[in-house]
Structure 1
Amino acid sequence: MGNCIQQLSESVTLIASDDTWIEGNAIQQLHTTSKLAGMRRVAGMPDLHPGRGYPVGAAFFSTGRLYPALIGGDIGCGMALWTTDLDARKSPAEKLEKRLGNIDAPLDDAWQTLVSELAPANVGFQQALGTIGGGNHFAELQRIDHIYDPQAVAALQLDMKQLVLLVHSGSRGLGGSILEQHIHRHGHAGLVQDSADCVDYLAQHDGALQYAEANRQLIARRMLDRLGANGQQVLDVHHNLVTPAAIQGENGWLHRKGATPSDTGLVVIPGSRGDYSYLAAPIPSEASLFSLAHGAGRKWMRSECKDRLVKRYSPAQLSRTKLGSHVVCQDKHLIYEEAPEAYKPVDSIIASMEQAGLLTVLAKLRPVLTYKTRGGCC
């Protein structure tokens, strides 16, 4: 257990086994971030990888000031899991793909009443609600492959005979606009706690969290509507956000960038689009700053994926996975960037957190149909 919680310095912790592949630049970014003014603790998760100046797959605890750049532009990005009444034995990927069609376009007028109920008013970007976006975002129909804790799974009303739906998306252009405004005014210096600018940012941040949650719900409802199915939300968890927190007796701000909270209930940790996802019960720990990995973590930079893979796979070949699932992604660059080979094996990520005593796996979920985009990356 001990070797999965590595103390790299007095203020930097890494949750990873000795054989977890982590790029050196990501470790360097952890150390660089730990030197920001007011930063007390930094924790990297096993899915850690380099970001634009700051690492992804990490949590950061500061006092006296908070850092919007550590959360990034996709404020509120997260995972939502839904039950469905789709028969897992009678819902082949081909049939589901045909019925789903194209869900890239804005929601039509029939959805506007629900949009007004769910989304924060007057924040703009209403046209993007109910759409997935680009990058690593997706919506995926899955079947339950294995149950490790039957009682816990039954309590969620999950059934191996029915498909589940996992939605990964965030605040679309809204979060990016909030970060852009902040960087234009303040650069990367952070915001002094309780200052007018800090209060203003937190209000915008909380609006983006509400927007992101509404977006995931609208994506799920839109898909269920297309598929003629019913469903209920089981969980919705943000993994890009900042919250007040107390760590080792100090009050401050806990930033998460691609880090799933371990102190708010059950979570789903997905692999790549050709890998399993895991439903897990977190075991909260200060060692990981009450955080877990949010996925498998990138192994390759996006810019190098197509060159590495284009001679091995066509886009059509990448739309079928080794697990038999289908991937809807008609952006020829994105399908290479999101190929399973570009990510770490999710089993290794889960194993590191299990060995560190940070979670208990409840169920393993197998992909059936992944939707990313029917057209260009949006």
Structure 2
Amino acid sequence: QVDRIVDADSFALSGLQKTQLLLLVHSGSRGLGQAILRRHVEAFSHNGLPEDSDDARRYLAEHDDALAFARSNRALIACRILQQLRAEGEPRLDVAHNFVEPCTVAGEAGWLHRKGATPDGQGLVIIPGSRGDYSWLVKPVVSEESLFSLAHGAGRKWMRTECKDRLSAKFTPRQLCRTGMGSRVICRDRQLIYEEAPQAYKSIDSVVDCLADAGLITPVACLRPVLTLKTSGEKSA
């Protein structure tokens, strides 16, 4: 839910309402992109390809298919959640953060690879925190110096493999189903609920403050988690 608005004009232009609940979905191509990359590396190793070659065009076409599939996944997840909640909603933002696109930097044309980086030229974006922290709606400031990109989230402090060892002596899975902010977490995967614990992530405010201080964003609104559904897709949530 919208906790507070810090840029009223930009928020008004977003079409969002403070009285509305917002549904945030984080999902990709569910293995399709990884399979495409694996086939490519097996055939060409990590060497580049001439951009006008048939092999490059084939790879980029498959890359675009994976992006489209990921968008469809997010739309389907949102639709199913809304059905379960007996609610209605409409999409406002859909921004990928793992992809490649043509780009010109310092007068030189090439290809920009984003891995966990949000593009700054698609209007308002959300920089999410952990399930136990705020998320931020921000207005990017297009910047060549930052390679036209922003942080795509708070970022991890701990590797996934170490989370359960660090936390299991302090918290049971049941205890992790409530956050310090009072929000509820639904997750039946005992490993995942530790891997995605708020303690494993950086403070979102520190990330957003750094981006704002660097002149790369204008914060618009702070979002507070109410309910978080966590699933790896391999087990029922």
- TM-score bin, normalised by smaller chain: over 0.9
Q: Residue 21 of structure 2 aligns with which residue?
A: 163
Tell me the distance in 1 between the aligned counterparts of 2:132 and 2:70: 25
Tell me the distance in 2 between the aligned counterparts of 1:182 and 1:377: 29
Pair 1:220 & 2:78 matched: yes
Aligned 8 A contact 1:330 1:376 in 2: no
In structure 2, give the amino acid aligned to 1:220: A
Q: 2:153 aligns with which of 295, 307, 330?
A: 295
Q: 1:271 aligns with which of 123, 129, 132?
A: 129
Counting strand residues as a fraction of each chain, which structure ranks higher?
Answer: 1
Aligned 8 A contact 1:280 1:360 in 2: yes
Tell me the distance in 2 between the aligned counterparts of 1:180 and 1:192: 19
Tell me the distance in 2 between the aligned counterparts of 1:171 and 1:374: 13
What percent of counterpart residues are identical?
58
Pair 1:281 & 2:139 matched: yes
Relative to 1, partners in 2 of residues 1:206 and 1:374: Cα closer, same or farther, differing over 3 Å? closer
Q: Residue 347 of structure 1 aligns with which residue?
A: 205
Task: Flag structure 1 segments of 5+ consecutive residues without an equivalent.
Answer: 1-142
What does the per-residue CA deviation read over 1:168-208, in whole Å, with 9 as the maximum and x for residues that have no partner?
11111211211111121122223232222111100000111
In structure 2, give the amino acid aligned to 1:236: D
Aligned 8 A contact 1:276 1:365 in 2: yes
Q: 1:360 aligns with which of 188, 213, 218?
A: 218
Alignment of 1:1-378 (within 5 A): 143-373=1-231, 377=235
Q: CA deviation at 1:376?
A: 5.1
Q: CA deviation at 1:157?
A: 2.6
Aligned 8 A contact 2:133 2:224 in 1: yes
Q: TM-score, normalised by structure 1?
A: 0.61
Tell me the distance in 1 between the aligned counterparts of 2:29 and 2:232: 20
Tell me the distance in 2 between the aligned counterparts of 1:363 and 1:316: 31
Aligned 8 A contact 2:192 2:232 in 1: no
Aligned 8 A contact 1:330 1:374 in 2: no
Task: Provide the secondary structure at the position in 2 that maps to 1:281.
Answer: strand
Q: CA deviation at 1:328?
A: 1.1
Q: TM-score, normalised by structure 2?
A: 0.96
Tell me the distance in 1 between the aligned counterparts of 2:26 and 2:122: 18
Aligned 8 A contact 1:262 1:291 in 2: yes
RMSD: 1.4
What does the per-residue CA deviation read over 1:3-43, in whole Å, with 9 as the maximum and x for residues that have no partner?
xxxxxxxxxxxxxxxxxxxxxxxxxxxxxxxxxxxxxxxxx
Tell me the distance in 2 between the aligned counterparts of 1:233 and 1:293: 22
Aligned 8 A contact 2:173 2:193 in 1: yes
Q: CA deviation at 1:217?
A: 1.1
Higher relative contact order (CA 8 A, sep 6+): 1
